[in-house]
Amino acid sequence: MNLNELWRAALGEVELQISKANFKTWLQNTSLIDKKDGVVTVVVPNSFTKEWLENKYHKFILKSLRNLESDIKDVNYQISQNLTKEEQRNKNAAIKEIPETIKKQLEFQELNIDAETGLNPRYTFENFVVGSFNELAHASAIAVTKNLGRRYNPLFIYGGTGLGKTHLIQAVGNTVKKENLHKKIKYVTTERFTSEVVTTLRSGNLRPNNMDEFKRRWREFDLLIIDDIQFLSGKEKTQEELFHTFNVLSEAGKQVVFSSDRHPKSIQNLEERLRSRFEGGMVADISYPDLETRIAIIKSKAIEKNFQVTDDIFEYVADNIKKNVRELEGALNRLIIFSHQTKKELVLDDVKKTLGSILNTPKKATTFKNIIKSVADFYDVSEKELMDRSRKKEIVKPRQVVMFLLREELKSSFPFIGTKMGGRDHTTAIHACEKIKKEIELDQNLNGEINLIKEKLYLI
């Protein structure tokens, strides 16, 4: 792979991990111009982008590059004015367009997000594969489109990363839009909604009418869709605004749809009255797809992208990527790039080689510290309290979860766990681990919480 191809392939992966809008803003005008002693140099248009990439996306970028070429150790970001002549030439070569057909296959094409609704037309029910893992969520979403504001209000969809939540809730919006041209629809992320609340409050002293204007604007929708509502955790003012917005909308028979990576019960620092609103409509989860469904998904994506390979290849990919549809799609994109580069029909051996680095990377070993930190972050409790003798009610469960994870993930001994977690007896550790193990079977929420903590634990 030359530098150019390397960067394109890496971007193809990064794109799947960050929001499209962010991808466009921060990565579109970048190129890779040098690779020396394991350090690659990426050129960026300005210092702002440089800072942003270094602080926010460095890990994604480095990981994607490493997946492609494992000897890459670091990335150096350089502002484009400071280039030498030769680097400038490389840059010009790198900017050359990806052929249109490949662009289409990889969906590199310009986003056509609808400015008014915020919806991306690519998310529809037609291209959403249904299996037992998402059946309830799908059926509820369809029901909502047919009974707007009347049947399930709100609709609350939750599940792990990359499993189709955004796709599904946007499909609700796109369907309603298509069938009812006059309806006012809005899709926003929680981050966006929060930042609007914050900006409005800040400017409130100068222009007191802003808050009225804000309220008016958010209360006029027939369908309001808010994505990743777990980010509301701890944001008191935003929670308050959302609570009132929801009440006004639902009383007027308008529909609200939420997504979250966890059940309402598992969102920390959430006002009780809002939690009970979330639970007051339909709460539907999305779990993990089974093998057959994974094969169906990857096949349908391949058809969409006009890319053909033999069934054994689809089966191999689906067999190896189990917990994330976005990753299934990422693997497919890699194969498309590979087959474009080699210009030959793919056979299973190529696939094993191409995907080897992502499929066979052993889970990075986690550590005691990581486990404590992940659990403390997740439940929003202090690390110190987790590890001392505090008997506070809200600490008990998180501490048991730590003990369980220490046992499961690190294979720590019970005496070690007991000693580390506040000088407790080994029987306390045994009891905690068994309790959590049993409860996971019975309690979907706890199971979801632990899956999320693990996901974060092994992220990068």
Residue ranges that bind Mg ion, judged by CB under 5 A: 165-166
Q: Which of 325, 336, 346, 436 binds ligand ADP (CB under 6 A)?
A: 325
Q: Which of 13, 15, 285, 329 binds ligand ADP (CB under 6 A)?
A: 329
Q: Which is nearer to ligand ADP, 159 or 418 (CB)?
A: 159
Please state the φ and ψ torsions of residue 42, each to the nearest 5 degrees: -110, 130
Per-residue DSSP letter, 392: -
Where does this chain touch ligand ADP (CB under 6 A) — which range of 159-167, 342-350, 397-405, 423-431? Answer: 159-167
**6 binds ligand ADP, rule: CB under 6 A:** no
For residue 256, give both structure tokens: 């609200």
Q: Which of 151, 275, 326, 340 binds ligand ADP (CB under 6 A)?
A: 326
Q: Which of 124, 161, 233, 445 binds ligand ADP (CB under 6 A)?
A: 161
| 3-state DSSP assignment of residue 156 | strand
Please state the φ and ψ torsions of residue 343, each to the nearest 5 degrees: 55, 35
Q: CB 409 → Mg ion: shortest distance, Å?
A: 26
**134 binds ligand ADP, rule: CB under 6 A:** yes
Asked if residues 10 and 57 have their Cβ atoms less than 8 Å apart, the reply is no
Give the span between the Cα atoms of 201 and 236, in whole angstroms: 12
Q: Which of the listed partners (ligand ADP, Mg ion, none) does 177 bind, with a CB threshold of 5 to 8 Å by partner kind?
A: none
**162 binds ligand ADP, rule: CB under 6 A:** yes
Strand partners, 223: 185, 255
Q: CB 79 → ligand ADP: shortest distance, Å?
A: 32
Give the span between the Cα atoms of 143 and 421, in whole angstroms: 48
Strand partners, 210: none
Q: Which of the listed partners (Mg ion, ligand ADP, none) does 162 bind, with a CB threshold of 5 to 8 Å by partner kind?
A: ligand ADP
Cβ burial, residue 362 (10 Å; 0-12/13-18/19+): exposed
Q: Which of the listed partners (Mg ion, ligand ADP, none) does 329 bind, with a CB threshold of 5 to 8 Å by partner kind?
A: ligand ADP
The amino acid that residue 303 corresponds to is: I
**88 Cβ contact list (under 8 Å, min separation 6):** none
Asked if residues 160 and 261 have their Cβ atoms less than 8 Å apart, the reply is yes
**HSE toward the beta carbon, residue 259, CA cutoff 13 A:** 27
Site for ligand ADP in 90-129 (CB under 6 A): 127-129
* C-beta nearest to ligand ADP: residue: 164
Site for ligand ADP in 205-234 (CB under 6 A): none
Q: CB 267 → Mg ion: shortest distance, Å?
A: 16
Contact residues toward ligand ADP (CB under 6 A) are: 127-129, 134, 161-167, 297, 325-326, 329
